Structure 1
Amino acid sequence: MHPFRKAVEARDTAAVEALLAENVVFTSPVAFKPYPGKELTAAILRGVLRVFEDFRYVREIADPGGRDHALIFEATVAGKAITGCDFLHFDDAGKIDDFMVMVRPLSAATALAEAMGAQFERIQAEATAALVAKSEGA
């Protein structure tokens, strides 16, 4: 089992964040523009864990070199069954530098967009607080 999968399934947000590269780019299934940066990506992933119910990975696919992984998941969002895939690319240090999510069906993607939209103020506040803490610690 991949360490990212293990961390998500354990709902260990610190372990998830530790696997993200500083320059990670998160591509959402419901937003046009990708989101750059570790702090924002970590905050988005915490938001996702808050809105997904009964989340579980059902399949893991990896390239032979270990740099690309696809983790297929199932969950429920606002009563809608959702199936999706986390596409992960790992940099030379073994950190996730590209994270793209795709989901289906459209009705569940719409429910996810609404649920995450309701989380976005909190997500932005968490990311900003993490950036401030990071700059004060530097």
Structure 2
Amino acid sequence: MRAFREAVEAGDLEAVEALLSDDVVFTSPVVFKPYPGKAITAAILRAVSQVFEDFRYEQELEGGEGRDHALVFTARVGERRLSGCDFIHVDDHGLIDELTVMVRPLSGAQALAAAMGARFDDIAKEAEARTASTS
């Protein structure tokens, strides 16, 4: 999805969040349980933007009548290089309702898991605060 890609590449996390549906489901490359909701997904994406270095989208694919997208990327977490893909599905309103991320190799996924795990208490607090402020 062009708008998501451009917002991520520009570091415009408010624009990224605006593209998420309220009931978006984020599926992490390193955690089995999906994360439902805009607040937690946005908080995770903000943290990832701090963890990934040298992030770059390399390819964009579209299918499913324009509702399914795949954005192939490369990045670094510390000394570990990784490649991955953001799989995006949009709802009837053009908002992202599913975001699944996959990364490889295993050493890159492990570095990502460790870096995100160290931030997860703050991620959860941010999401909780955002949910409370919109209720």
Fold agreement, TM-score > 0.5? yes
Moved over 4 A (4+): none
Q: Which amino acid aligns with 2:115?
A: A
2:43 equivalent to 1:23: no
Quick one: distance in 2 between partners of 1:83 and 1:18?
26
Cα drift, residue 66 of structure 1:
1.1
Aligned-residue CA RMSD (Å): 0.9
Quick one: distance in 1 between partners of 2:64 and 2:107?
35
Quick one: distance in 2 between partners of 1:104 and 1:4?
22
Cα drift, residue 64 of structure 1:
6.1
Q: Which amino acid aligns with 2:113?
A: A
- Which position in structure 2 is the counterpart of 1:32? 32
User: Is the partner of 1:65 in helix, strand or coil?
Assistant: helix
Matches within 5 A, 1:88-127: 88-127=88-127
Quick one: distance in 1 between partners of 2:119 and 2:13?
16
TM-score by length of 1: 0.96
Cα deviation digits, residues 40-94 of structure 1 (max 9, x gap): 0000000100100010100000116210000000000021001000000000000
Aligned pair count reads 135
Q: Report % sequence identity.
A: 61
Q: Any unmatched runs of 5+ in structure 2?
A: none
